[in-house]
Structure 1
């Protein structure tokens, strides 16, 4: 399993938005420039985010985007569902008259269902706020200059 480029860019843009929206709305152009992402691609991603009420747009000369709810309320699972539809492994159903129905059911219950459950546990409990905190602690260090 891997995240699509759309999902990666969606997560990057939401972290950027949360970090940079302290002083008001953030333009897609600035998010695109800071992260090396096509603004047209971000427009598609943010259209999906707007529809799902993850972000809201602010019109006007100082307009842009803001999170529609707190970063602590937006989970990685939310982002994946908005941009991909689902992140679960597909069910593997055997043909009803196959002699392998029991094997297929065993694989479904002990592998696929467990993996999906663990994915839910991780992704539904990992928020944009937690990603922002990690980013801020490990990468967003401003050089301090003393005179």
Structure 2
């Protein structure tokens, strides 16, 4: 299994959307700047993610992108699968080399299918960064420094968490 640059960037962009899920639609330009991905590359990635229902776009002023489902329902394996380019058959499926790599690929897929965006966003170091970022109103993105007036309070937190 080859993890392409496009798939890595897709996961980064999806984590960004998950981290900002409660703040409303995220402009594509923000994702581009925050994640260090060119606008044209974000556009290519988001076209594939939209096709697979992993994200939704909201047009117009105040628009942007949101996750297609809750972060707890979006598995990393889905994201990788949406961006996976087809690869040629690796040859004889009965050879020792093929058996080893097929087994390894199945284990990697199982690992990715067992992890959600919520699992990543809830990591303590990521939560601490988010808590610092969202204490301010308007808040400034700690990654790119962009000032945002999007509403929504602290993403991923309920009033019971406060």
Q: TM-score, normalised by structure 1?
A: 0.78
Q: 1:92 — aligned with what? A: 91
Q: 2:51 — aligned with what? A: 51
Aligned length: 134
Name the CA shift for 1:138/1:85 in 2 (closer, same or farther; >3 Å): farther
Q: 1:77 — aligned with what? A: 77
Q: 1:121 — aligned with what? A: 110
Which of the two has higher C-alpha Rg?
1
Q: 1:25 — aligned with what? A: 25
Deviations 1:42-72 (A, max 9, x none): 0110010001100001122111000011111
Name the CA shift for 1:108/1:5 in 2 (closer, same or farther; >3 Å): closer
Hey, which bits of structure 1, 4+ residues long, moved more than 6 A? none
Matched residues in 2 for 1:124 and 1:85: separation?
18
Name the CA shift for 1:120/1:36 in 2 (closer, same or farther; >3 Å): closer
* Unaligned stretches of 5+ residues in structure 1: 95-103
Mapped pair 1:108 → 2:107: no
Matched residues in 1 for 2:131 and 2:2: separation?
29
RMSD over aligned Cα, in angstroms? 2.7
Q: TM-score, normalised by structure 2?
A: 0.71
Matched residues in 2 for 1:106 and 1:5: separation?
29
